[in-house]
Amino acid sequence: MAATPLKSFKTVQLQVAEERSFVHRVGNWFFVIIFVLLLIILLFPRLIDQVRRALQSRKAQAVIEDRQPDYHAVLLQYLPYYRNLPPRLQERFLKRTVVFMTTKEFEFVEITPEERMSLLISATAVQLTFGLEQYLMDHFEKIYVLRHDYHYGPNSVPFQGHVSHDGIYLSWSNFIKGYDNYFDGDNVGLHEMAHALAYVNFNVSEGRDDGFHDRFIRFSATGREVFETMQSDISGGFLGRYAATRYEEFWAVCVENFFERPTSFKIQLPELYSAMCKLLNQDTLTPGIVLNVVENV
């Protein structure tokens, strides 16, 4: 039996070097794969979001090309806010309204649907968020439209509207009344959209606007003070008793008065009015309305 020849020292050295090089290569590939996976995890949701937004925008654009004159006429007829916007902002407002409308599912409960209903409800949300980057309140996929006041849960008092985890609820008769008399500080559409905006920013994460979320803390420094003072004022002052019941209602009533009675609001509660302007990045008493440029059309 022939003896196995001994490997030379040089051959052994080469084998060890090759093994080390293999381990090194495997190690490199491992880090590359981990890096690529991390990149996918980080960028994928953003990419999906961008694609989704682009598709939403395209869908809305097609609707606008088809219906623009009619929608413009409806918004002019019902919305003093829209009438006051310069033409270039009216264009942006209408686009946002159509994007909002085409991304929501409207469910009409015991009421015959009309196109103006979903258009005007969407426009109310857009009015409130016109100075914000994120305006779609993505968490809410469904908006329920009811005919009149309705009963909800164990409450004996009828509702004009409310916001819950599964959607935004509005009674059409009360919604349209809010626009029939726009200057009385009572607007259920704006009121419920204020609750919905707070909900997407503080209760869930889909649709959060980081700027609004951060500024709300600064707003509350002033807001809480006014709210506390109202607790000992039986009349409730300018904002009324209902605003003093809970801080959530205080916020929603502030929104109604901010849009419907801005001049009196500014005179009666100047610091709170200024805090609202900064928070929402808009002031209906200034010609351009939006205070700082909003990137997202």
What whole-number distance in Å separates Cα of residue 263 and Cα of residue 284? 9
Query: Cβ 243 to Zn ion, closest distance in Å?
Result: 10
Query: Cβ 30 to Zn ion, closest distance in Å?
Result: 55
Nearest-5° Cα angle at 88, 296 to 140: 40
Query: Cβ 48 to Zn ion, closest distance in Å?
Result: 34
Query: Cβ 259 to Zn ion, closest distance in Å?
Result: 15
Compare residues 97 and 171 and give the one whose CB is closer to Zn ion: 171
Compare residues 82 and 216 and give the one whose CB is closer to Zn ion: 216
Compare residues 252 and 294 and give the one whose CB is closer to Zn ion: 252
Compare residues 71 and 219 and give the one whose CB is closer to Zn ion: 219
How many other CB atoms are there within 10 angstroms of residue 169's CB atom? 21
Q: What is the DSSP string of the chain?
A: -PPPPPPPHHHHHHHHHHHHHHHHHHHHHHHHHHHHHHHHHHHHHHHHHHHHHHHHHHHHHHHHHHHHHHHHHHHHHH-HHHHTS-HHHHHHHHHHHHHHHHHSEEEEESS---HHHHHHHHHHHHHHTTTSS--S-TT--EEEEESS-B--TT-SSPBSEEEETTEEEEEHHHHHHHHHTTTSS--HHHHHHHHHHHHHHHT--TT--HHHHHHHHHHHHHHHHHHHHHTT-TT-GGG-GGGGT-HHHHHHHHHHHHHHSHHHHHHHSHHHHHHHHHHHTB-TTSTT-B-S--S--
Compare residues 194 and 269 and give the one whose CB is closer to Zn ion: 194
**And the tokens for 29?**
């590939």
Chain residues binding Zn ion by CB under 5 A are 249, 252
Query: Cβ 255 to Zn ion, closest distance in Å?
Result: 10
Query: Cβ 292 to Zn ion, closest distance in Å?
Result: 28
Compare residues 85 and 252 and give the one whose CB is closer to Zn ion: 252
Compare residues 209 and 249 and give the one whose CB is closer to Zn ion: 249
Residue nearest to Zn ion (CB): 252
Compare residues 186 and 249 and give the one whose CB is closer to Zn ion: 249
Task: Pick the closest to residue 176 from 68, 73, 79 (CA basis).
Answer: 79
Q: In what order do the strands lie in the sheet with 142-146?
A: 105-109, 142-146, 167-171, 161-164
Query: Cβ 192 to Zn ion, closest distance in Å?
Result: 7
Query: Cβ 252 to Zn ion, closest distance in Å?
Result: 4
